[in-house]
Amino acid sequence: MTRTGTRASPLETETLPAPPPLCGAVLRYRAKAAFDTETPGLDAGGWAFDELLSLAGLQGEDRAAFAESGDLAVHPGGWQSWSAGWELIGRERLPRKVALIPELKKLTHRDGETPPSGSGWITGHFIVYLRAGDRYLCLASNEGDGLAPLTFYIHRERRQVRMEVFAPGKEWKAGETAAGLTVLYACGFFAFKDALKALYRQEDAFRAVDFLRWHGESGEAHSKRNLPGGYQSWYNHYTNIHEALILEDLQALAATENLLKLRYIDRGRPLVFQIDDGWQRAVGEWEIHTGRFPRGLECIAGKIEAEGFIPGLWLAPFLVTRRSRIFREKPEWLLRQAAGGEPVVAGFNHLWDKRYYCLDISRPDVKEYLKDLIDRAIDEWGFRYLKLDFLYAGLFAGAFAEKGAPHEHYERALAILTSRKRNAAGLSVAYLGCGLPLGPSYRHLPLSRTGADTRETWDWHAPRLLGHVGRPSAKINLLDTIGRTHLDGAVYLSDPDVIFLRSKNCKLKENEKELVALVNFLLAGQIMFSDDPLHLTPADVALTRRINALYEKLENDEYGAVRICRDVFRVESRRAGAVGLVNLNSRPFRLERGREPELFLALSAATLLVDRRLGRSAGSVTFAGRSISLAVI
Ligand code: 9PG
């Protein structure tokens, strides 16, 4: 079936049945004739929900389930790691105030999003879905074969989706495929996740980071038993790192009782030790800050290897700040706006030089610079786990030196950044993507951050008031980790950011730390922490032991989450070994018997594995605010 976009779209759509075992259809958008794209958004037509239900082959009861708009949850997917990654139900919307501060908006929104006029449009990217109860109708864009990113504008009340292709600067040939997506239907969380797994076929990509896992025991490749884990310096020291501090944390890891020692070091499991932001002279000047690291990084990476850990380093390769040498000496390397020639601003960070800018990654000399940077980090400094951060800055529109659209330049730059699979000694190298545009990155970055930064406080007031949904915040981070758990192990292995078990420099309460530690373990793909092991109190160690014991009890299953209502989620497991309830609201939540009968029954038991109940009666169970409760069945 071929149809033309409804407005005067220069694209036509071809529709094919989805390959088995998928239930649905594959759509391809092709240029009707040769043309150039000048605007950031290229209209690719739209679909009524009913047409999508037909494309997915839905009939009878399954189809009727999607008839009531009011009950539909809409997941907007997200442009990048820090974009909102949770479902919207009923009249919920994402805050719009952030538009008043363009530098902040750049951290969560795609460049030049153009929602249709009128209110009620939800902007989505990459993998979006409509959910009616346990039924998922998913639009999954295919951005893996050089195809352009797709943006979805979803209107729940009008029951419509409009599509937009992001490819400013692209010169299309007649018949060229611009974008593609699959319309999928699945019933049940795990059936949905398995459909994504079958669609994205990431097994080979996942193998590249297998060396971060423990292989000491037979078992499933991706069970909770062998989640990668490690230390990283950000969520305690922030940019204030120096040699003595890093070495102190390094030595204390194996010498004190802490979670990484109990779960990884004592059991001979691989462990990452990653230095975060602060080692460099300036963001965009990737030279060692010799005031802080007078003996350089090589000796530190050597000590990390000598401890038996995998040395890691943070980089934001596409960024430039005013303080950096490139800004002064190579102004032609900066991406500039097509109109006016001012450098394209990529965002704002009060810990750096305020505004920051992006490189013109289409330039051959910039690509060479990127290649040299990675080679230096691996060969000269000795790192084997590179956290590539702020990657979204590689997907802005601008006056590129070379022809092509942002996604084409981005794909080439990312291939260069991740091309080294081994160091000179033949040891494996892994990359962690962060702040990355999700669709254009997953093939090159099988290990990727799945949400906004966490924080040692529950929320962060000032950016919340500004409507910044990508703000560092324990609550936002949990919403993202839970909201994108269907992608973990299907599209990428998700990095949920760190857990906290310390009390020094940390305002989280015990129930909040337990919640973060369990959500990260159950619903994401690695366990990282930034705690200073030397300063753990006896109470911190007691919590550590308890969490470690829980990990052992829960490690033989796979988990999923389905939203019950605002801030409240049901946790379920593939083998039906455990169920639970997460309450991210600050107030207690009362679960009525009729609402979730099976969950209610399990969580009404006399004893639970993790028990944050405040009370129970024949008709309801009440759970504490900011808590998780788990029942083993
Ligand atoms: C280093 C940090 C850490 C962290 C990354 C990234 O939207 N924001 O205000 C915002 C602030 C910080 C930030 C991301 C977004 O942190 O996620 O793990 O590496 O950079 O500077």
The residue type found at 140 is: A
**Ligand 1 midpoint to CA 149 (Å):** 24
Index of the ligand 1 atom closest to the CA of residue 104: 7
Index of the ligand 1 atom closest to the CA of residue 107: 7
Q: What share of the chain is helix, strand, coil (3-state, %, to 5)?
A: 30, 30, 45
**Ligand 1 midpoint to CA 154 (Å):** 29
Contact between 195 and 54 under an 8 Å Cβ cutoff? The reply is no
In angstroms, the CA 257 to CA 96 distance is: 46
**Ligand 1 midpoint to CA 245 (Å):** 21
**Ligand 1 midpoint to CA 195 (Å):** 32
Q: Give the SS3 label for residue 467.
A: coil
In the numeric block, the tokens 């997907």 are attached to 395
Phi, psi of 615 (to 5 degrees): 180, 160
- Nearest protein Cα to ligand 1, atom 1: 277
- Nearest protein Cα to ligand 1, atom 2: 277
In angstroms, the CA 623 to CA 616 distance is: 9
Per-residue pLDDT at 221 = 56
Contact between 169 and 405 under an 8 Å Cβ cutoff? The reply is yes
Per-residue pLDDT at 556 = 93
Q: Kindly provide the residue ranges of all beta strands, DSSP E only, lying in 96-202, ordered along the sequence.
A: 121-125, 127-132, 135-141, 150-155, 160-166, 171-172, 177-187
For ligand 1, say whether the CB of 406 is within 6 Å of any of its atoms: no
- Nearest protein Cα to ligand 1, atom 14: 453
User: Exposed, middle or buried, 405 (CB in 10 Å: 0-12/13-18/19+)?
Assistant: buried
Give per-residue pLDDT as tens, 444-487: 999 999 999 999 999 999 999 999 999 999 999 999 999 999 99
Q: What is the DSSP letter of 147?
A: P
- What angle, 0 to 180 degrees and rounded to 10, lies between the N-to-C axes of helices 510-523 and 538-554? 30
Per-residue pLDDT at 393 = 98
In angstroms, the CA 357 to CA 282 distance is: 13
In angstroms, the CA 481 to CA 500 distance is: 15
Query: Which strands make up the sheet holding 24-31, listed edge to edge?
Result: 2-4, 11-17, 24-31, 177-187, 135-141, 127-132, 73-75, 88-89
In angstroms, the CA 451 to CA 203 distance is: 22
Residue from 241, 349, 350, 500 whose mutation best tests the ligand 1 pocket (most atoms within 8 A of CB): 349
**Ligand 1 midpoint to CA 417 (Å):** 20
Token representation of residue 167: 């490819």
**Ligand 1 midpoint to CA 620 (Å):** 41
> What distances in angstroms separate CA 552 from CA 158, 355, 576, 582, one per listed residue?
48, 45, 17, 20
Q: Which helix (H) or strand (E) holds 528?
A: strand 527-529
In angstroms, the CA 40 to CA 52 distance is: 26
Q: Is the peptide bond before 21 cis (omega within 30 degrees of 0)?
A: yes
- Choose among 452, 445, 450, 373: nearest CA to 410: 445
In angstroms, the CA 440 to CA 436 distance is: 8
**Ligand 1 midpoint to CA 432 (Å):** 14
Token representation of residue 378: 């691996």
In angstroms, the CA 507 to CA 353 distance is: 27
Per-residue pLDDT at 97 = 87
In angstroms, the CA 372 to CA 445 distance is: 19
Mean pLDDT per 10-residue interval, the chain, length 633 residues:
59 94 95 92 94 96 88 96 96 89 95 94 98 97 91 96 96 96 97 98 96 75 86 98 98 98 97 98 98 98 98 98 97 95 95 94 98 98 98 97 97 98 98 98 97 98 95 98 98 98 98 99 98 97 98 96 97 95 98 96 97 97 98 95
* Whole-angstrom Cα Rg for the chain: 24
Token representation of residue 608: 């639970």
Per-residue pLDDT at 217 = 60
For ligand 1, say whether the CB of 235 is within 6 Å of any of its atoms: no
For ligand 1, say whether the CB of 495 is within 6 Å of any of its atoms: no
